[in-house]
Amino acid sequence: MRIAHLVLPLALIAGACDSKDTKAAASEAVEKAKSVFADFKQGAQKELGEAKTSLEELKAKAAQAAQEHKPELDKLVSDLEVKRQELATKLTELKDSGAEKLDQAKRDLEPKIAALKEDIRVALDKLKP
């Protein structure tokens, strides 16, 4: 849900009310936006945590793989870990973002996190005995 869609109707309603109601509506809109951000951030952090756990599993399986496949698997693990760290960094940088940047970040990060998890799943499936 776009945060602007939450804030705009509240702002319009607030315009029709006196200043006390306006402040209350503005405060409510800010709290709603904070809540939406917190929910997104918490969910994304959970997803990245799951990806980290899966990467650790992949790393352990790669260590047990045939010697001829180890360099390839080590590089794959390393590349996936770099992607995970980049996504975690972007998520951390969102702390000071406004509603517009949050919407853009959600559209940007959600598919990238899903793709990372899928890449890890595919790699784990390839290593199954």
Burial class (CB in 10 A: 0-12, 13-18, 19+), 55: buried
Question: What's the CA gap between 29 and 3, in Å, rounded?
Answer: 9
Asked whether residue 37 carries a pLDDT value surpassing 90, the answer given is: no
73-124 residue pLDDT tens = 889 999 999 999 999 998 888 766 666 777 788 888 899 999 999 999 998 8
How far does Cα 116 stand from its chain's mean position? 11
**Dihedral in degrees, nearest 10, Cα atoms 13, 19, 20, 23:** 70
Across the chain, what does the average pLDDT equal?
81
- Whole-model pTM? 0.70
